[in-house]
Structure 1
Amino acid sequence: MPIHGLPSSQEPIKPAHFDIEQVIRPNILTLHPYRCARDDYKEGILLDANENALGHSLSTQDSPNDDPTLDLDLHRYPDPSHDPIKERIAALRSISGVDHIFLGVGSDEVIDLLMRVCVAPGKERILITPPTYGMYSVCAQVNDVGVVKCPLELSGQAGEGGTDGRFSLKVDEVKKKIDADPSIKLVFLCSPGNPTGTSIALESIKSILDYKNFKGIVVVDEAYVDFVGEETSTVSLVKDYANLCVMQTFSKSFGLAAIRLGIAIAQPPLIQILTNTKAPYNISTPTAHLALSAMSPSSLVTMRNKIETLKTSRNALLTSLAGLAHLGLGLSIGSNDANFVMVPILSRDGTRPDNVRSQKIYKSLAEDNGVVVRFRGNEPGCEACLRITVGSEEENAVVIRKLELVLSEL
C-alpha cells in the first residue's frame, strides 16, 4: 500500500527484516492529509484561507519599536512545510535532504505522533529504559498504550559509560522483552539520558536495530547530544536503517526552549507518515523566524561557543560539588554528557543515599534559598539524587554556597 505523498522508490530497504507498512496503523496508512491553503500557492492576492486581510491587531504603542515579530505576516497562516529550516538542519547534521526531516512542536509532539501512528491503543506497547524521560510514559497513558520497562544497567561505577557501565543499555534484556512481547512497536532510548547524563553506545543501538525479531522502530532521543559531540549521534545511522527515528530539539544547545521546536530525523517513509498526520500549521511563523535565525552562520558560532563554556562550567561545578563530600554529598553518577549533573545526597555519616534528607535539602534550597534544582530520588538507580542544571558562572557559585549551607544545617 503506497504512503500518500511519498514518491515511489526502487532502493532496497535496510534492514531487510523491517517493513514500515507492518508498523504503521492501517488507518494511518490510508490517511489523506488535510489540504491547507498554503500547500498550493504562497504568493499573490491571497483570498483563499479566510485570513484577516487588514493585518494583525497588535498595537505598536504597547510593543518595543524594534520588535521583529511585528514585521512578520502574522495575519497569514504559516508555511506548512518550512523547507528553509529543514535545509539548514540538513546542512548542520549532514543529512541528505529535507525529506528526512520533520518539525514538531517540541520533541513532545514527535513522541505523541509516533505513538499515534505506530501503536494501536489498548492492544500494543512501547518499551522504555528507566531511568528515562518521563514524557514517554505520559504520552503512552494519554494514548492508551502499554509500557514495557527494561531498566538500564543500575550497577557499576559513576562515569563508566560504554556498553556495560552504569546506565548503559542492557541489550540482551531488551531483546528478551521483545521476544516475550511481539506487540512492542516502539523502543525509546534517551542518549545522552535524562536524568542519567550518560550516552548509550552506538554499538548497543545498532544491535537493537539489527535484531530480526524486532519489527518496530527504535526512537533515539538526542536532546542533549551537542554537549557530548556529534560523533556519538545516531543520525549517521539513518541512511542505513529505515527502522530508526532520531529526535533532536532547539531547546537545549540552541537555548530556545521557549519557541517549542523539535526535530525528527528518519528515512522519507516515516517522515511522510508524520507529515500526513500532523496538524496543518503546527509550527508558527514567529517560531520559524527564530529557528531560521538560530541557524545562521554567526548564530551557530555563538551556539558552539556557549556549548564549550557550559562544558567548562560543568567540569568546574563537578569539582566544586566534590568538595562538599565531607558534608554528605556523593560523587556524581552517570557520565555527565549533558548540560546537567546528578549527585546523591548521603546520610550525615556518608554511608548511604538518604532520600529523606535529599528531599529536605531539595525543598530548603528552593523555598528558603531561591535555588531550584530537581529531585530525582524516586527514579531507578537514582536514589537520593538531585539533578542540577549547569548555570552561569555566577549561578553555579550561588548553588555551591547555598548547598554547602543547607547540607551543614540538615
Structure 2
Amino acid sequence: MPILGLPSSLYPTSPAHFDIEKVIRPNILALHPYRCARDDYSEGILLDANENALGHSIPSSSAQKATRHEPELAPELQSTLALDLHRYPSPTHDPIKSRLAELRGLPGPEYVFLGVGSDEVIDLLMRVCVAPEREKILTTPPTYGMYAVCAQVNDVGIVKIPLELSGDKGEGGEQGRFSVRVDEVKKAVDADPSIKLIFLCSPGNPTGTLITLSTVRSLLEYENFKGIVVVDEAYIDFADPDASAVSLVKEYANLCVMQTLSKSFGLAAIRLGIALAHPALIQILMNTKAPYNISTPTASLALSALSPSAVDAMREKVSTLVASRGALLQRLAEFASLGLGAAIGGNAANFVMVPVLEKSGSGKPDNTRAQKIYKTLAEEEGVVVRYRGGEPGCAGCLRITIGTEEENEVLLNRLGELLKKF
C-alpha cells in the first residue's frame, strides 16, 4: 500500500531488511488525512475556513489607554498581536523546516517534522507504529519518563533493558556506565518480534551520557529488528556536534532523530519539537498529526530563532553554559569531604548529576539524606534541583541544571551549608 502524499521514488532503500510499510499500522497506512483549508490556498480573500474576518478582539495599547481600564501591553505582545491571529496557521511551516534542514545538514524540509514539543513526536510515533495491546516499545532506563507515560496512554507494552549501571562514567567508547547494552537489546528483539520502536536518549536524561554512533548503527543494521530506532537528542547542542545521529538519517530509513528548541535555543515555552527522518516516515507523521498543530505565534518565534544571527547567539550561550558546567563540576568536587560524590554520567548536557553519600563516610549513596537536602533546598532555600535517586543506577542523586553564574553561586553556598547540616 503506497504512502499517501509521498512519491514512490522517495521510498527507503537502506537498510535492506527494513520496510516501513510493515512497521506502520495498517489503519494508519490506509488513513486519508483531514484536508484543511490552508492545504489548498493561503492567499487572497479567504472565505473558506470559517475564520473571523474582523480579526481578534484583544485591545491594542491605544485602545487600552482610551478606556483606562487596562495596563499598557508589552511591546512583545504588541508584535504578537500584529500577526494574523484570526487566520489558521500554516499546516506545513516549510520555511522553519528548511532552516532546520540546513542547520542540521539535511537535504530539505521533506526530512523534517514539527510537533508540539518532542512529546507530540513520541506520542505520534507510538500511535502510527505500535498496535495497542499487541505490540511493544523498548526503552533503556534510566531515561526520559515520557516514553513510558506515552506507552501507557497508548496501551502498548514496554520492554526495559537497563543501561550499563556499573563501571566508570561512560564518556566514550562502547563500554562504561550508562552505555547501551547492545547485545541485551538484540536478545530482547530476538525474543519478542512485537517490539516496533527502540528509544535511545543521547545525551541521556538524567545520565548526560552520549550514545555512540557505532551503537546506533549496530541497532539500525540488526536484521532481526524490523522497526525504527528513535534517538532523542534534546540536549545534543551541549555535546560534541559530531556525536549527533542526524549524520545517519540520509543513510538509514529506519532512524528517527528527535530534537527541540526547548534547551539550547532557550524556547521551552513555545513547545516546538522536531523529528528528523527519511521522507517516508515524515510523510506518515504529517498524514497523522492534527491539522494545525503548530500555532502562528510559535512559528513566528521559531523562524526568528533559526535566523543566522540568532543561531550564532544560541551557540555563544551554549558555549557559556558548557564553560559554566565545567566550573560547577570543579566546585562540586570540593564538597567531597561533606559527603557529596563525584558526578556520574557523561556530563554532556546542560545539567550534572551528583550522588549524596552517607555522612558516615562509607561512600554509599544515601537516598534519605539526598531527599532531605532536595526538599530543604526547594522549600527553605529557594533553590530547586531534581531528585533522581529512584532511577536505576542513580541512588542518592540530585540532577542540577546549569544556571547563571549568580544562580550557580547561590546553589553552591546553600548546598554546602545543607551538606554540613544534614
Question: What is the TM-score of this pair, normalised by structure 1?
Answer: 0.99
Residue 389 (str. 1) matches residue 381 (str. 2): no
Change (3 A) 1:63 1:179: same
Q: Report the alpha carbon displacement of residue 97 of structure 1 after superposing the two structures with TM.
A: 1.0
Name the CA distance, whole Å, in 2 between partners of 1:73 and 1:170.
51
**1:244 corresponds to which residue?**
255
| Correspondence 1:63 to 2:73 | yes
Q: Secondary structure, in 3 states, of the residue corresponding to 2:185?
A: helix
Contact 1:161 1:167 in 2 (8 A): no
Which consecutive unaligned segments of at least 5 residues does structure 2 have?
65-71
How many pairs are equivalent? Answer: 410
Per-residue deviation, residues 39-96 of structure 1 (Å, max 9, x unmatched): 0100000010000000011112252245210110000000000000001001100101
- Name the residue aligned to 2:9: 9
> Kindly tell me: are residues 27 and 393 of structure 1, through their superposed partners in 2, closer, same or farther at Cα, counting changes over 3 Å?
same
Note the C-alpha offset of 1:229. 2.4
Counterpart residue number, 1:145 = 156
Deviations 1:76-135 (CA, angstroms, capped at 9, x unpaired): 000000000001001100101111100000000000000000000000000000000000
Cα separation, 2, equivalents of 1:49 and 1:249: 30
- State the Cα deviation string for residues 338-393 of structure 1 (Å, max 9, x = none): 00000000000232100111111100100110000000000000001000000000
Contact 1:329 1:350 in 2 (8 A): no
**Contact residue 3 and residue 29 of structure 1 kept, 8 A:** yes
> Paired residue for 2:37?
37
- Counterpart of 1:197 (choices 208, 228, 246) is 208
What residue number does 1:54 align with?
54
Code of the residue aligned with 1:50 in structure 2: it is N
Please, which of 341, 346, 358 is the counterpart of residue 335 of structure 1?
346
Question: What does residue range 80-229 of structure 1 map to in structure 2 within 5 Å?
Answer: 80-229=91-240
Cα distance in structure 2, aligned partners of 1:119 and 1:335: 31
- Letter aligned with residue 366 of structure 1: A
Output the amino acid matched with 1:45. Answer: I
* Deviation (angstroms), 1:159: 4.7
Q: Tell me how far 1:12 sits from its aligned partner.
A: 6.0
C-alpha change, 1:12 and 1:222, in structure 2 (3 Å) is closer
Q: 1:76 to 1:396 in 2, by over 3 A?
A: same
Mapped to 2, the partners of 1:122 and 1:350 lie a distance apart of 48
Letter of the 2:128 partner, please give it.
Answer: V
Task: Compute the displacement of 1:10 (Å).
Answer: 6.9
Task: Say which SS state the counterpart of residue 9 (structure 1) adopts.
Answer: helix
Check the 8 A contact 1:107/1:263 in 2, yes or no. Answer: yes
Quote how far apart the aligned CAs of 1:405 are: 0.7
Could you say what secondary structure the match of 2:113 adopts?
Answer: strand
Q: Measure how far apart 1:248 and its partner are.
A: 0.2
Q: Which amino acid aligns with 2:374?
A: Y
SS at the partner of 2:230? strand
**1:368-407 superposed matches below 5 A:** 368-407=380-419
Q: CA deviation at 1:162?
A: 2.2
Asked if 2 retains the 8 angstrom alpha-carbon contact of 1:191 and 1:200, the reply is yes
Q: SS where residue 405 of structure 1 aligns? A: helix
Structure 1 residue 160 displacement after superposition:
4.0
- Counterpart of 2:26 in structure 1: which amino acid? P
Distance 2:10 2:46 in 1: 39
The CA distance in 2 between the partners of 1:35 and 1:120, in whole Å, is: 25
How far the C-alpha of 1:208 sits from its partner, in A, is 0.4
* Poorly superposed stretches of 4+, deviation over 4 Å: none
Equivalent residue letter for 1:108:
D
Is the 8 Å Cα contact of residues 169 and 178 (structure 2) preserved in structure 1? Answer: no
Q: State the alpha-carbon separation in 2 of the partners of residues 166 and 65 from structure 1.
A: 49
Q: Could you say what the CA RMSD is over the residues aligned between the two structures, in angstroms?
A: 1.0
TM-score, normalising length from structure 2? Answer: 0.96
Q: Aligned partners of 1:327 and 1:84: how far apart in 2?
A: 53
**C-alpha offsets along residues 232-259 of structure 1, whole Å, 9 cap, x if unaligned?**
0000101111000000000000000000
Q: 3-state DSSP class of the match of 1:240? A: coil
2: CA distance, partners of 1:308 / 1:41: 43
Q: Gaps spanning 5+ residues in structure 1: where? A: none
Is contact 2:10-2:279 (8 Å) kept?
Answer: no
Secondary structure of 1:406's match? helix
Partner of 2:84, secondary structure, is coil
After TM superposition, the structure 1 = structure 2 runs for residues 294-309 of structure 1, keeping only pairs within 5 Å, are 294-309=305-320
Write out per-residue CA displacement over residues 9-33 of structure 1, whole angstroms, 9 at most, x where no aligned residue.
1776100000001100000000001
How far the C-alpha of 1:284 sits from its partner, in A, is 0.1
Whether contact under 8 Å (2:12, 2:280) holds in the other structure is no
User: Residue 279 of structure 1: CA displacement?
Assistant: 0.1
Matched, 1:365 2:347: no
Partner residue in 2 for 1:347: 358
Give the stretch that moved more between structures: 53-62 or 381-390: 53-62
Q: In 2, distance between residues paired with 1:160 and 1:310?
A: 19
Cα separation, 2, equivalents of 1:274 and 1:102: 7
